[in-house]
């Protein structure tokens, strides 16, 4: 596996050509690519495999957020983990057995992906979480699900940057924290409600950051990425 960088660029596009173009622009930078549902629904496993083949040194986070019965999730992840991605994920709210079965499936292949669990989506705040019947405040639910993830043996969680400090205290320094909702100074929050700048997230103790539109919707994505890297150089 390639080295896992601190920044993953969210490649939220539906077609292989656009994804390959973005990956090409990131070549040579210490930045990975996050491929999500939009890309996967358009291009599937073959699309992911093509990016892996054409960019063998680029770290890939396959962000599909599985949530189903344990056997179904385990079967799906057994396939996903065999195509050469560094990270993939599921929802911690699927429960302990689902996560344990999924981890066994992932680890059944020679070069397994590292498995992360989504705690609470960064598009949700206390009001939105309460409306679907989950316990609030958000921070308490995130901590509860992160500890369950750690109990299941997974590598870490996907969480808001605002939960970094309490999760570091609860789960330790070796627990991976992948944080979306990262916005450089002056960027719009878009549909994210719990956001933080890249520098502040690193200083708080995140492992990896997911940054999308501030890079991908820039007139010059590579320059935008280089500017972000410069902003965290001494963090």
Which letter does DSSP use for residue 69 in this model? -
Helix (H, G, I), strand (E, B) or coil at 190: coil
Which stretch of DSSP H or E encloses residue 211? strand 208-211
Give the span between the Cα atoms of 206 and 121, in whole angstroms: 16
The three-point CA angle 208-204-215 to 5° equals 45
Q: C-alpha distances in angstroms, 206 versus 40, 161, 179, 186? A: 26, 7, 7, 21
Sign of the dihedral through C-alpha 166, 171, 173, 176: negative
Q: Which of 6, 54, 65, 193 is catalytic?
A: 65
54 is catalytic: no
CA-to-CA dists, residue 119 to 92, 95, 157, 213, 214, angstroms = 6, 11, 7, 22, 24
What count of other Cβ atoms lies within 10 Å of the Cβ of residue 147?
A: 16
- Tell me the catalytic residues: 65
């Amino acid at each position: 596996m390639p080295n896992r960088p601190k920044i993953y660029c969210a490649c939220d596009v539906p077609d292989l050509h656009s994804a390959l173009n973005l990956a090409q622009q990131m070549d040579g930078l210490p930045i990975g690519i996050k491929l999500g549902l939009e890309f996967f629904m358009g291009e599937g496993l073959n699309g992911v495999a093509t990016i892996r083949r054409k960019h063998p040194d680029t770290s890939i986070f396959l962000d599909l957020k599985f949530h189903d019965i344990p056997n179904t999730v385990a079967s799906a992840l057994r396939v996903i983990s065999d195509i050469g991605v560094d990270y993939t994920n599921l929802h911690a709210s699927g429960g302990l057995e689902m996560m344990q079965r999924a981890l066994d499936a992932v680890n059944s292949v020679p070069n397994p992906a590292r498995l992360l669990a989504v705690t609470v989506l960064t598009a949700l705040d206390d009001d939105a979480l309460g409306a679907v019947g989950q316990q609030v405040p958000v921070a308490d639910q995130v901590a509860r699900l992160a500890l369950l993830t750690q109990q299941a043996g997974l590598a870490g969680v996907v969480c808001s940057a605002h939960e970094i400090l309490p999760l570091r205290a609860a789960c330790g320094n070796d627990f991976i924290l992948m944080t979306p909702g990262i916005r450089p100074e002056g960027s719009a929050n878009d549909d994210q409600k719990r956001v933080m700048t890249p520098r502040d997230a690193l200083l708080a103790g995140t492992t990896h950051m997911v940054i999308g539109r501030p890079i991908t919707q820039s007139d010059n994505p590579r320059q935008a990425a280089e500017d972000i890297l410069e902003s965290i150089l001494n963090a």
